Amino acid sequence: MENSALKIFVLSFFFVITIIVAQNQPIPTTLEGPFEPVTRRFDPSLRTGSDDLPMDHPRLKKNVTSIFPEQIALAISSPTSMWVSWVTGDAQIGSNVTALDPSSVASEVLYGKRSGEYTSKRNGNASVYSQLYPFEGLLNYTSGIIHHVRIDDLEPGTKYYFKCGDSKFPAMSEEHVFETLPLPSPTLYPRRIGVIGDLGLTSNSSTTIDHLTQNDPSLILMVGDLTYANQYLTTGGKGASCYSCSFPNAPIRETYQPRWDGWGRFMEPLISRVPMMVIEGNHEIEPQVSGITFKSYLTRFALPSEESGSHSNFYYSFDAGGIHFIMLGAYVDYNSTGAQYDWLKEDLHKVDRDLTPWLVAAWHPPWYNSYSSHYQEFECMRQEMEELLYQNGVDIVFSGHVHAYERMNRVYNYTLDPCGPVYITVGDGGNIEKVDVDFADDPGKCPSANDNIPEFGNVCHLNFSSGPAKGNFCWSKQPEWSALRESSFGHGILEVVNSTYALWTWHRNQDIYKEDSHGDQIYIVRQPELCSASTSKSDSLI
């Protein structure tokens, strides 16, 4: 075992040296941190945002007849199985809508290792959902038929060709292909992991997805706020960058649900061949009649909730090679007395760091954030969960919500800590609400106690009890735990090299036409010998 570990270390060392020599410039590592805080202010030559694409845009409009599959998407079920999802039939919107019959069409996936040769067949389930409003003048919506099929007995690192639909009509999709990820192993990892948040459907969103597609990910993490369908009235029309400003008399936070269908078509060319793992954000809440929320999110996505024992699409976990991913829900109970916390303790207890050395977590709103927008908004969640994640050695945390980029120095409880996670905010996907440009430490930009009230949970705003900001709600300069922040749209790529080194690159949208250009790049280095779990597993569950 010791010889094996030594070989991995030597290989990783030479890999890093090779990359540095090839690029003729050193890539920093977290071993050199903590870094002096750096701020890159918004480039005034760029636009702060753009309008949404219209529903008749070629990337959003429906291009198949009613019974044929569209909005095809993949998601990981287990290391040897995959979820295939799609939509058939026509959604309806109006004062009176009638739901389609999900049993009227089959849910089938044919698949195999050779193009045109489908040696396996699996059936799944289908459902529809409605978005209903008890207010005069608001339009109701009922979806097309949403299909989910789990295909299994997949071999790792293998290409599979598939068609989905109903073979009886026949109404099958065109052939699609995907490549399975490696099995859990300390030496095998996904090739590239794309990380995006707060995407929307604007021209900037298009650039983000085009740029991500160029970078050829093998797995995508979507950290909440997907379609921004709730920036519209139920009648459609033009979306708003500020909902309450444009629609102050709306009786409820309305949505235009066809935007979800447009988003599914917009994403299909990428996520029909690359699995995308999503977690809910505040724009997925979408309240309707009888206090129902999250109906579209819960119905449209198949996620490994049963497989991971959470039994909830609001939080779950999965493995991809030598990485264990934990996706947490900020808009359901996160208190230490709740079901999510109990599940998290059990999930962390089961992690075998010899098999999956990397532990990566993701949720929508950031705990560490120096922008004025959403500043300390989910401080309650941090206070409830941070210690548990720290004790169990989480390596990286991805969040969105703030429409900008920020990477932290390793931190725990607002204190620089070489064993704390690297927190990264990537809520800069390009949505209609525009980029965030104000920092809480700028003169006159510190939020008041009545600002940044979370859409779920309590308010736990606090003044710092130690350090340079002691006694204050905001710092007077960029906080020491904030390593780099920049107001630009973009996406991230995580490339795990081995059990200790992972290369993180943040790609700005404005760099899409520049070769080998990026906004941030760093090797995140694990130090298990220094940062083994601070307590035994049995102790950490107290």
269 phi, psi to nearest 5 deg: -55, -30
What is the identity of the amino acid at 137?
A: G
SS3 268: helix
Quick one: which H or E segment has residue 220? strand 219-222
SS3 264: helix
In order of 26, 440, 522, 523, the CA distances from 483 in angstroms are: 17, 15, 11, 14
Q: 324 Cβ partners below 8 Å, 6+ apart?
A: 184, 317, 318, 351, 356, 358, 359, 360
Write down the H helix ranges in 412-503.
none
Rounded CA separation 70/410 (Å) = 43
Closest to 332 (Cα-Cα) out of 408, 280, 278: 280
Angle (CA) 103-132-200 rounded to 5° is 90
Q: Has 211 been annotated as catalytic? A: no
In order of 104, 106, 144, the CA distances from 168 in angstroms are: 11, 8, 19
Closest to 220 (Cα-Cα) out of 196, 198, 199, 194: 194
Q: Which of 148, 283, 374, 401 is catalytic?
A: 374
Q: 334 Cβ partners below 8 Å, 6+ apart?
A: 328, 340, 341, 380, 381, 384, 385, 457
Q: What is the DSSP letter of 51?
A: P
In order of 6, 8, 10, 17, 19, the CA distances from 14 in angstroms are: 12, 10, 6, 5, 9
461 phi, psi to nearest 5 deg: -55, 140
Which of the residues are catalytic?
A: 374
